[in-house]
């Protein structure tokens, strides 16, 4: 090998190897410090693209899970209110049965009616309950659908008309309501407590539009109503109370079915989220054991390259010593 002064190929090669080893060491340090295999698009363009989409899907799925959990809480609060309403109607039916006692005088019946009116007032308050400002229940009255309750149709129960109210819970990350959406029923309190004609008992000119608790009701004679409430418990028959109790039971059953549906959907979404996170991690996360081994290797190479570069730079001095 000739000894030259103008060029030092060995030093140039050693310097190039040192630069490459430094770059590899820097990349290993970056991966170990961030815990990520891909820290820029240059590391793995295709992998970063896939991971970016998966991350967006993870965020949307997490938001849907939160929405579903809020919907479940809404249904649970709604069920609690229905349970309270059921107990009140049970008490009303008990009072009406006791009012049939032949040993009760007029004063006793009036006392039952006073409690009956107070219980109706409590039902009215329950009908106005809200969850985060959103009505738990709906009515047929146009003025009573505030708080996000929307009328989506009409139906009828004998002579008592009511609106079918519902909200759609979107549970698909695409935002589509056609895939996995859940219909959350906004129970119509006015219909649930409606008093329809039994052929033997009527209120005012008929049973149409009347209900316990003065919920969206209009009309009624002064003699039979006080402040919109039915003031005489004998105006309502035991069979009518039984009908109302049956409707409350049906609506609680429907509420329970919706809770189960939402719970099952949450479980599925959480399972999907776990799998998406795992897929995202396999693309983005660094193997710490592997990177530690690479770091040690690159560190040794940097030190060796630096040493060889220093020695290669001394070759020119050898040539100069021959001249001297």
**pLDDT at 47 exceeding the cut of 80:** yes
Where helices occur in the chain by DSSP H, the ranges are: 9-34, 45-98, 106-127, 189-192, 238-284, 288-312, 315-323
Which of 277, 276, 263 has the alpha carbon at shortest distance from 65?
A: 263
| Alpha-carbon gap, residue 6 to 245, rounded angstroms | 105
Among 166-175, 183-192, 205-214, 296-305, the range scoring the smallest mean pLDDT is 205-214
Distance in angstroms between the alpha carbons of the first and the last residue of the chain: 20
Q: Which domains does the chain have, with CATH numbers?
A: 53-280 (1.20.1330.10)
N residues, the chain: 324
Which pLDDT score, from 0 to 100, does residue 205 have?
42
Which pLDDT score, from 0 to 100, does residue 1 have?
55
Within 10 angstroms of residue 77's Cβ, the number of other Cβ atoms is: 15
- Confidence tier at 153 by pLDDT (50, 70, 90): very low
Q: Mind listing the pLDDT tens digit for each residue in 175-209?
A: 666 666 777 777 777 777 877 544 444 454 443 44
Average pLDDT over residues 96-120: 91
Which pLDDT score, from 0 to 100, does residue 86 have?
94
CA angle 283, 56, 49 (to 5 degrees): 45
Q: Percent of the chain beyond pLDDT 90?
A: 28
Of the two residues 9 and 202, the one the predictor is more confident about is: 9
Of the two residues 3 and 144, the one the predictor is more confident about is: 3
> Is there a contact between 190 and 211 (Cβ–Cβ < 8 Å)?
yes
Which pLDDT score, from 0 to 100, does residue 13 have?
81
pTM for this model (two decimals): 0.74
Locate 211 and state its tokens: 């209900």
Kindly state the DSSP code that residue 176 receives in the 8-state scheme: -
Mean per-residue pLDDT of the chain: 78
Locate 28 and state its tokens: 């290993």
Of the two residues 13 and 318, the one the predictor is more confident about is: 13
**pLDDT at 146 exceeding the cut of 50:** no
**pLDDT at 162 exceeding the cut of 70:** no
Q: Write the DSSP assignment of 286-304 as a string of letters.
A: --HHHHHHHHHHHHHHHHH
DSSP reduced 3-state for 188: strand
DSSP reduced 3-state for 185: strand
Which pLDDT score, from 0 to 100, does residue 184 have?
78
| Alpha-carbon gap, residue 281 to 181, rounded angstroms | 29
- Confidence tier at 227 by pLDDT (50, 70, 90): low
**pLDDT at 277 exceeding the cut of 90:** yes
**pLDDT at 59 exceeding the cut of 90:** yes
């Amino acid at each position: 090998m000739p000894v030259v002064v103008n060029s030092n190929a060995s030093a140039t090669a050693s310097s190039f190897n040192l630069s490459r080893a430094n770059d590899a060491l820097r990349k290993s340090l970056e991966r170990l410090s961030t815990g990520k295999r891909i820290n820029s698009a240059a590391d793995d363009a295709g992998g970063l693209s896939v991971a970016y989409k998966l991350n967006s899907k993870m965020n949307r799925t997490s938001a849907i899970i939160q929405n579903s959990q809020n919907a479940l809480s809404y249904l649970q609060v709604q069920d609690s209110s229905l349970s309270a309403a059921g107990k009140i109607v049970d008490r009303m039916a008990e009072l009406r049965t006791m009012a049939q006692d032949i040993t009760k005088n007029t004063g006793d019946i009036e006392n039952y009616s006073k409690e009956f009116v107070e219980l109706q007032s409590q039902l009215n308050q329950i009908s106005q309950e809200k969850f985060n400002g959103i009505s738990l229940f709906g009515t047929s009255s146009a003025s009573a659908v505030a708080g996000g309750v929307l009328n989506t149709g009409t139906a009828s129960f004998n002579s008592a008309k009511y609106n079918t109210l519902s909200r759609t819970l979107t549970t698909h990350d695409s935002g589509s309501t056609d895939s996995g959406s859940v219909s959350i029923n906004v129970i119509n309190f006015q219909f649930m407590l409606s008093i329809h004609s039994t052929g033997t008992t009527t209120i005012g000119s008929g049973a149409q539009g009347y209900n316990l608790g003065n919920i969206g009701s209009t009309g009624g004679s002064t003699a039979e109503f006080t402040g919109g409430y039915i003031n005489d418990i004998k105006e309502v028959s035991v069979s009518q109370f039984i009908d109302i109790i049956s409707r409350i039971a049906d609506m609680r059953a429907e509420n329970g079915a919706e809770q189960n549906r939402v719970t099952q959907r949450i479980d599925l979404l959480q399972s999907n989220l776990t799998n998406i996170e795992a897929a995202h991690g396999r693309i983005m996360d660094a193997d710490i054991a592997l990177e530690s081994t690479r770091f040690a290797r690159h560190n040794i190479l940097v030190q060796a390259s630096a040493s060889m570069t220093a020695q290669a730079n001394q070759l020119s001095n050898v040539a100069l010593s021959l001249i001297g």
